[in-house]
Structure 1
């Protein structure tokens, strides 16, 4: 069976799927079949004897997660696919947090606030503090708090950070740190986490409870991550910590497709991987199955102007 699905891969894809000797970065140009590589690699690992519950596969969107699960199910069967730890960063880490919520002072049935819940709470805090909501625009305050959490800056650290305080003062919003402190406190008292807390609190859980971190390090024998160019610091640190002992990590991404810096995505997470993992093996998927040669040539000429990049030539 394995030979059958390997035959449907091109040479670059097949090499990336078969490599399991250490940390791996798959640089995948647009339309080059990166999802196929990720799903086939999971199928290959299962064929090698890895139990499904010991494989962790992380994506960014529910759509991508569902597509991955469907493709894996088609290769290995639905029952096996359902036993994988496969899903979005937020769904996987909320699962870990629910299992260990008491360790960080939460109930196991904590509420998850969506963006509108979060915004409503921020609006009420701004009103309570009698601040001008044109200066302290709630959506702007929400974005600043989100950015701080994704950089793993807690309220106390934010209030001590001279650069952040000076920036807020210049923007005529010197009380951002106080709104952040109250917001975080209110969420905790209400037994609630917002989406960014799912990342921040997982890092706090692992930092303050090394036994919990070790449990998940031992559980996840192989870690696979899609769209790694879009990871923020909080996501990158969790992945690094979980894969630290065995270095069985495969990340797929394209440094030329990083567009979420405004949401905290850090392109250096993918560009700096070879420093973090000295034995990192890089595979490049350069054959585009989606566009004409003229479009690909135009894209290549634009991408070539990037100052920092992992060179590739899509065809």
Structure 2
């Protein structure tokens, strides 16, 4: 093939990347800028120019789908024999080939899931977590192995990093060590060991290193911002002392740090290779200018190590509709509103397969599954099982059905209390547990309990209490109607599972503080990763982008939630906000206790005075309150603001309430917090020292909504 013909149709920056035939090359590619097109044309151009033969190229990516797409494009460009593989596929191929001469004997058995082996290892050291705990242990062991943390170093490393562990670090270390011993004893190979053994084989055996490096002389690594230390170890082994390496990635799309990925290899590429060619792809061919403006605004606010490398995208498509920002009173109203908008889009001719609803956590999908079903809209759930197909929900429904007959005719407990009591042994603790898998299970069960609360509230408004039989009937109805027809439908997906995909219309939902960023994002680095996750969601949209949030969890609940900070500077002033302020004034005007002026700003209303009016408070009291809050947050393993926000503490210090009635009048002190923390706060106001006051040790549980969104 004529080398110049391979370059036809590329834009100037893509052409620059394709002409950089010798490494090191770093391509910083923004969302929708045609990075796959650039790297496949670069490979085909190198082959057509005689720089390298097809068989000597190894293109590495992270998913089999991406590798398959790359191979298909290369075939179309006249380079069908180029190897495009995942790290694991390439490593397994090499390890299997060289195993007889390096080790000999039977090859190890590859285990795709660690659960069974981790369970045996845990039992051998006297640790017996439940199924969810086992999944969290397996994930934690994977993190340790990809970040090259050994069992003997695990406790010290996680303590130094302040990492939250699914079990006490010492117990995780014991299970980790037992797992590695069991794996070696039974000749088992997990994915991490496969990469490590392949890298070790190349490093320790010069003859094998020579054969591998003779075979592969030209490397391309896609999604380089997602590389972890173990993958980097293998890549360095493949390269040796050569630098014919092209890496492609976008620091602004780093969203897997929790699994060991680090953007440092991408952002530090120029420091490692000062002579590298660096190309920036910024022409966005995916999204309209309106969507691109939102994306640029979001990422321009980034802080931290990746912020200096963010790319400003330049839209190449014609204008489209302005992004929509919609505020709802509660979560069910938000789900219903989104489903109705989608139904209208379908009637207007938008294919269902070109619409996506993106959620932050899997537990949020239940409301949208139901709302779409109610509207008769077909849907599919990507990246996780549908709500009623999840193992914990199946077990919960089975338990509730059994209880229906036991309590029939003698229901003395309210429905909500009964449901929470029944779900408790299945994992619905008052506070969210540690560990990602355990937390996702807890969130699913919480969503089920919330459904009971919503049903009880609706029935109460109609004048009769909801029964367990009513609740089970409702569950059966929802399970029967949530199954979508067996054809293409609207996609419901988590933001993480949406990476690499795109749709004509995207609905980003649940955009409140505590959900985006998620409440568990406590450090600046974790908040910035949440920002990048939001950026990924925004850049999935080609034409239509809708962003929404709700002010309360359930109908009639306190409307105290705040829209996500990531929407600051984007969303217009909300007419509904003005009307709510007017409604509040009709019911009683809040006035400054210093000058008497009417207060409308939320912060002023919380403090009970104008922000610029002089304040008088006991500084020692405020310090005692902060010390107590810090200790309580550490004990309960929650962010400090979940106990009380700074504004609420200052309001308490200024008003110095001496009774329960006076404390309850302070904005930000709801009924749940009054019950949980009231005695401790009043003791502090009366002069007690923080060290002598202990709050209720229960976690935030039921009042997470209230505390997170003050």
TM over 0.5: yes
Match of residue 66 from structure 1: 68
CA offsets per residue over residues 165-201 of structure 1, 9 Å max, x none?
7879995342322322222222233332112222222
- Tell me the distance in 2 between the aligned counterparts of 1:169 and 1:233: 20
**In 2 relative to 1, CA 163–235 (structure 1 residues): closer, same or farther, beyond 3 Å?**
closer
Is 1:297 the equivalent of 2:293?
yes
Is 1:163 the equivalent of 2:137?
no
Deviation at 1:243, TM superposition (A): 2.5
Secondary structure of the residue that 2:94 maps to in structure 1? helix
Secondary structure of the residue that 1:145 maps to in structure 2? helix
Please say which of residues 224-233 and 133-142 is displaced more in the overlay: 133-142
Is 1:151 the equivalent of 2:153?
no
8 A contact 2:225–2:262 mirrored in 1: yes
Match of residue 87 from structure 1: 85
- Tell me the distance in 2 between the aligned counterparts of 1:241 and 1:55: 15
Deviation at 1:136, TM superposition (A): 9.4
- Tell me the distance in 2 between the aligned counterparts of 1:268 and 1:224: 18
CA offsets per residue over residues 73-102 of structure 1, 9 Å max, x none?
1111xxx52x32321111001111112224
Aligned residue pairs total 307
**In 2 relative to 1, CA 65–41 (structure 1 residues): closer, same or farther, beyond 3 Å?**
same
**In 2 relative to 1, CA 238–152 (structure 1 residues): closer, same or farther, beyond 3 Å?**
same
Match of residue 312 from structure 1: 311
8 A contact 1:57–1:85 mirrored in 2: yes
8 A contact 1:150–1:199 mirrored in 2: no
- Tell me the distance in 2 between the aligned counterparts of 1:168 and 1:205: 34
CA offsets per residue over residues 104-134 of structure 1, 9 Å max, x none?
646564322112xx11111122223332315
Match of residue 276 from structure 1: 272
**In 2 relative to 1, CA 108–137 (structure 1 residues): closer, same or farther, beyond 3 Å?**
same
8 A contact 1:152–1:200 mirrored in 2: no
- Tell me the distance in 2 between the aligned counterparts of 1:256 and 1:312: 8
Higher helix share: 1
List aligned pairs for 1:92-103, cutoff 5 A.
92-102=90-100
**In 2 relative to 1, CA 21–52 (structure 1 residues): closer, same or farther, beyond 3 Å?**
closer
- Tell me the distance in 1 between the aligned counterparts of 2:115 and 2:298: 38
Is 1:253 the equivalent of 2:249?
yes
Where does structure 2 lack aligned partners over 5 or more consecutive residues?
A: 315-710
Secondary structure of the residue that 1:92 maps to in structure 2? helix
**In 2 relative to 1, CA 186–170 (structure 1 residues): closer, same or farther, beyond 3 Å?**
closer
**In 2 relative to 1, CA 201–13 (structure 1 residues): closer, same or farther, beyond 3 Å?**
same
Is 1:112 the equivalent of 2:114?
no
Deviation at 1:220, TM superposition (A): 1.7
- Tell me the distance in 2 between the aligned counterparts of 1:226 and 1:111: 29
Deviation at 1:26, TM superposition (A): 0.4
List aligned pairs for 1:3-152, cutoff 5 A.
3-49=4-50, 50-76=52-78, 80-81=79-80, 83-102=81-100, 105=103, 107=105, 109-115=107-113, 118-133=114-129, 137-152=133-148
- Tell me the distance in 2 between the aligned counterparts of 1:209 and 1:71: 35
Secondary structure of the residue that 2:284 maps to in structure 1? coil
- Tell me the distance in 2 between the aligned counterparts of 1:31 and 1:63: 17
8 A contact 2:95–2:194 mirrored in 1: yes
8 A contact 1:122–1:183 mirrored in 2: yes
8 A contact 1:56–1:86 mirrored in 2: yes
- Tell me the distance in 1 between the aligned counterparts of 2:32 and 2:74: 19
Where does structure 1 lack aligned partners over 5 or more consecutive residues?
A: none
Match of residue 229 from structure 1: 225
8 A contact 1:55–1:85 mirrored in 2: yes
Who wins on radius of gyration, i.e. which is larger? 2
| Structure of greater relative contact order (alpha carbons < 8 Å, 6+ residues apart) | 1
Please say which of residues 249-258 and 128-137 is displaced more in the overlay: 128-137
Match of residue 188 from structure 2: 192
Question: How high is the TM-score relative to the length of structure 2?
Answer: 0.41
CA offsets per residue over residues 264-302 of structure 1, 9 Å max, x none?
111111111111112111101100111011111111111
8 A contact 1:17–1:37 mirrored in 2: yes
* Aligned-CA RMSD value: 2.5
Deviation at 1:22, TM superposition (A): 2.8
Match of residue 524 from structure 2: none
Please say which of residues 15-24 and 124-133 is displaced more in the overlay: 124-133
CA offsets per residue over residues 27-72 of structure 1, 9 Å max, x none?
1111111011111111111112212121111010000000100110
